[in-house]
Structure formats: structure tokens, C-alpha cells
Chain A
Amino acid sequence: MIREQEMTIRFAAYPENEQFARIVITAFLMDLNPLVDEMADIKTAVSEAVTNAIIHGYENCMGEVTMTCKKQGDLITITVLDEGCGIADIARAREPFFTTKPEAERSGMGFSFMEMFMDEIHITSERGQGTCVEMKKQLHLQEGSS
């Protein structure tokens, strides 16, 4: 039988909480004993999604970010949701090096990294309503892990 487990955290949109989100994901996935590289990939993708929510979604204003993570056997699904300004053009936002904030020295690599480090990514966004990023990754469990 495949064991399922899900968790949700909601936190203030402060950049300091990016580290908190990474720590929570790491702790939640610890029992699956993921490969070091897989864990690093997931941490980077989470960091990118949460940074986007804080910097672009709320533009550093007050707001809250909701992150959920679901484990279904060795399949991981992570969603990062904000109720911020939304994305005007999702296809453009996904282009490597495209950024709406070049003056703030944003690299424009956020969505590219999420795509490179996760197996699947789905973005839904509504202007003035917010953005939801769903990312999936299949872990390759190591010998000896349950």
C-alpha cells in the first residue's frame, strides 16, 4: 500500500521565511531518505517559488504564502500559493532570463530552475488574485530506505 501524507504551512511573506520553507521541506521529506542531489534540487525549486511569491507576488508588501507538500510513496507534490498581484504573461515569465525587475538585479532564472530541478511544473495565475505553482518530482529511493 502506498503511504500518503500531506502538510501545509502558512507564513508571512518575509524573505527571511525562504530559509524556513526550505528547512520545513527538508524535514518533511527526511523519512524518504532522498538522494543528496534530489534534496538540493527540491530545496532550490522551493526557494525559487517562495522568492517569487514574496518579491513578485507581494512585491515585498504584507501578505502570506501557503506551502503544501504531499508524499504519495516516492512521488512528491509541492504547491506554493500567494494571493498577490498575479502574473501578466505566464509564458514570458517562464522564459530563461526574462524578468520584470531587471533594475533589482533579478536573474530571471526562477521558473527555469523550477523546471530544471523538478519533473513537472504547473502555474495558474490571475491578475490581482494571486499565483499557484505546483511542482512534482519522483524520488529515486536509495537501497535500505522504506
Chain B
Amino acid sequence: MEFQYETKTGCLRIFTPREIDECAASEMREEADMLIDNYQIRHLIFDFSNTEFMDSSGIGMLIGRSRKMGYTGGSVVAENLNGRVQKIFTLAGLPKLITVVKEANHD
């Protein structure tokens, strides 16, 4: 699986896949960490526009990335969550760790 992403001066936007389960989560974990280190990312954005499904493996991956960014004082934002993904975020208490932005602010 290949993930689409954009990088711009310390900022990484990851377009998450249609379904985030254990398979997708472990690939995203690896790829995101590689990009964060290589591009010295300070600001990480997960763009959920394409995501219809996420289970607890996705939550583990997001908490892990939030910790990783936290060590270096970086920030993590989640954008464009559909109702289902929003529900999963809320039930898992993710909004305490990751800033959820309702409307995308495309720059």
C-alpha cells in the first residue's frame, strides 16, 4: 500500500487510506516515522478525507506518532474526519492528544 503525502518546510500532511486496520497502521507507522526523521517534521497533519473505517490498531498508531512528535515539541493535527472516524476518536479519547480540526484549512 502506498500513502500519499505532502511535505513543506517541516510540515508533513499524510492522506490516510480508505481503511485503517493493523495492515495499514503498521505500514503508516513505518513510513511516517521515516518521513518525520528525514524531513525534520515539526508539524504533522493526518488528513482523513478518504478514510471510511478505522479500528483500534489505527488508534495505537496515532498515539505512537503523537508521542514521537511530542518528544521534539512538534504538533499533530487530524483533519476531515467523517462521522465514523470521529466516533472512534472520541471513544478512544484521542482528542486529548491530537488536535481535531473540523474544517480543513488548505494553505
**Residues of chain A having any CB pair with chain B under 8 Å:** 15-16, 18-19, 22, 37, 40, 43-44, 47-48, 51, 54-55, 104-110, 112-113, 116
CA distance A54 to B21 in the complex (A): 12
Of B19, B56, B63, B64, which is within 8 A of A113 by CB? B56
CA distance A113 to B98 in the complex (A): 20
**Residues of chain B having any CB pair with chain A under 8 Å:** 19, 21-23, 26, 29, 53, 55-57, 59-61, 63-64, 84, 88, 91-92
- A–B Cβ pairs within 8 angstroms, 13 of them: A22-B19, A37-B84, A47-B53, A48-B55, A48-B56, A51-B22, A51-B57, A105-B29, A107-B92, A108-B56, A109-B91, A110-B56, A113-B91
CA distance A48 to B88 in the complex (A): 13
| Residues of chain A within 8 A of B22, CB atoms compared | 15, 18, 51, 54-55
Overall SS of chain A's interface: helix
Q: Are A19 and B23 in contact (CB under 8 A)?
A: yes
Q: Are B56 and A107 in contact (CB under 8 A)?
A: yes
- Total cross-chain contacts (CB, 8 A): 60
| Residues of chain A within 8 A of B63, CB atoms compared | 105, 107
Q: Given A22-B19, A40-B84, 11 other A-B contacts at CB below 8 A?
A: A15-B21, A15-B22, A19-B21, A19-B23, A51-B21, A106-B56, A106-B57, A107-B56, A109-B92, A112-B56, A112-B91
Of A16, A22, A109, which is within 8 A of B56 by CB? A109
CA distance A108 to B56 in the complex (A): 8
| Residues of chain A within 8 A of B61, CB atoms compared | 105
Chain A: CB-nearest residue to B91: A116
| Residues of chain B within 8 A of A112, CB atoms compared | 56, 91
Q: Given that A48-B55, A116-B91 are contacting pairs, would A105 and B64 also be in contact in the complex, using a CB cutoff of 8 Å?
A: yes
Q: Given that A105-B29, A105-B60, A107-B59 are contacting pairs, would A44 and B23 also be in contact in the complex, using a CB cutoff of 8 Å?
A: no
Most chain A beta carbons < 10 A, residue from B22, B84, B88, B91: B22
| Residues of chain A within 8 A of B56, CB atoms compared | 48, 51, 106-110, 112-113
| Residues of chain B within 8 A of A18, CB atoms compared | 21-23
Q: B45 → chain A, closest Cβ, in Å? A: 20
Q: A13 → chain B, closest Cβ, in Å? A: 11
